[in-house]
Amino acid sequence: MSLVVDEHRHYLQDHVRLAAFRQAIHELVVPGSVVVDLGSGTGILGLLACEAGAKRVYAIEETSLIELAREICQANGLADRICFIKELSTHVDLPEPADVILADQIGHFGFEAGLFDYFSDARRRFLKPNGTTIPGRITFCLAPVEHEPLWQQVEFWNRSHMEFDVSPACSIAANTGYPVKLMPEQLLGPSVEPLSLDPSVGGSQPLHFQCTLSISKSGTLHGLGCWFVAHLSPSVTMTNSPLCEQRIDRRNVFFPIDRPIPVQTGDSMTVTMHILPVQIAVTWTIEIHKNKASVPEPIRFTHSTLKGMLISREDLQRTHPAFVPTLTPWGAARLTVLTLCDGQRPLAHIEQEVLRRHPTLFASLSSAATFVAEVVTRYSA
């Protein structure tokens, strides 16, 4: 079985998630509504919209999973009401405005799956002036966390392995956000909700907030636990919060600090976070204030996933403004394919011509055809 299909089996097994979406969709989609489903996957949210009375659903999905969604739609007798579009939503134009736009591109912390970027574009180009989005608001949540096993994944790089020093990776590990399913007992204090906003308005703008977290349980601080609350409709919320009995089956995010810090009841933390939604980049600064006169100065850590990115010096050099790029042989072959896609030549002719022009790259017509197919399926209409 395709692992992508198995991933969506997991989504369909999350009955808390589906029940929340069903209730919100039935609340906001009325008979005759036009609905847009962004990143539709297997099409389940579009099916729920039809169940609520939508007269037409535009299901937009960039991947080949759309073919399975078509078959599922056909199997449920809804092929006349759901229009499938294989493309990224930002590249799509629709023939009519929508009453409702819905998606579950929320991620683990509320922004990583592209919801803000896709929703802001969709609101501007697809949605009626009085239309609505599902979700209509995302709330970010944070709490101090003790998680020794997860911290050891960072500390791993400070130890020698096979008697070799691998510590250069430690900085990357400490500047990474880790998906994890947090449990209530791993929280060292109550959660806070420092930011709540409409994702269709925020767009690609940076997000910034500062908040104070209190320590209500003595232990060892290893970092921040983060999750979201999605406000799907006026009466329905959905969350992956470890504090919620009806949490959806989705992991949280753990942002570590450089070293573990013992904390006691009465201590506090000032957290400053800067998020670039499109780049999926997070910078977090933590100041730990000890409730002791013997520790007058706060303990400060600053981390950023930008420092956790793996970038080779070769790739970095190619981004310098003074760099003068030239095509590699494979780049030239790709350009050949794109040039030959002129609306006149059939695919068989393009494959033969690519093999003729680039004989050192392709051992056979079959290998040239595979290369051409990769380019054509991505860039041709």
Maximum CA extent, the chain: 80
Backbone phi, then psi, for 56, in 5-degree steps? -155, 140
For residue 64, give the 3-state DSSP assignment.
coil
Identify the pLDDT of residue 296: 75
Give me the percent of the chain exceeding a pLDDT of 70.
99
Q: Where are the domains of the chain?
A: 3-104, 139-308, 329-379
Q: Measure the CA–CA gap between 374 and 354, rounded to whole angstroms.
A: 13
Identify the pLDDT of residue 1: 53
Identify the pLDDT of residue 294: 67
Read off the tokens for 205.
Answer: 């703008």
The rounded mean pLDDT for the chain is: 94
Residue 315's H or E segment, with its range, is helix 313-317
Task: Give the domain 139-308 fold.
Answer: Hnrnp arginine n-methyltransferase1 (2.70.160)
In this prediction, residue 278 has a pLDDT band, given cuts at 50, 70 and 90, of confident
Residue-wise pLDDT for 321-343, tens only, equals: 999 999 999 999 999 999 999 99
Q: Measure the CA–CA gap between 79 and 73, rounded to whole angstroms.
A: 6
Q: Measure the CA–CA gap between 222 and 162, rounded to whole angstroms.
A: 27
Task: Give the domain 3-104 fold.
Answer: Rossmann fold (3.40.50)
Angle between helices 3-13 and 65-75 (to 10 degrees): 50
Residue-wise DSSP of 118-183: HHHHHHHHTEEEEEEEES-EEEEEEEEE--HHHHHHHHGGGS-BTTB--GGGHHHHHT--EEE---
Number of alpha helices (DSSP H) and beta strands (DSSP E) in the chain: 12, 15
Buried b (16+ CB within 10 A) or exposed e, 204-236: eeebebeeebbbeeebebbbbbbbbbbbbbeeb
CATH topology of 3-104 equal to that of 139-308? no
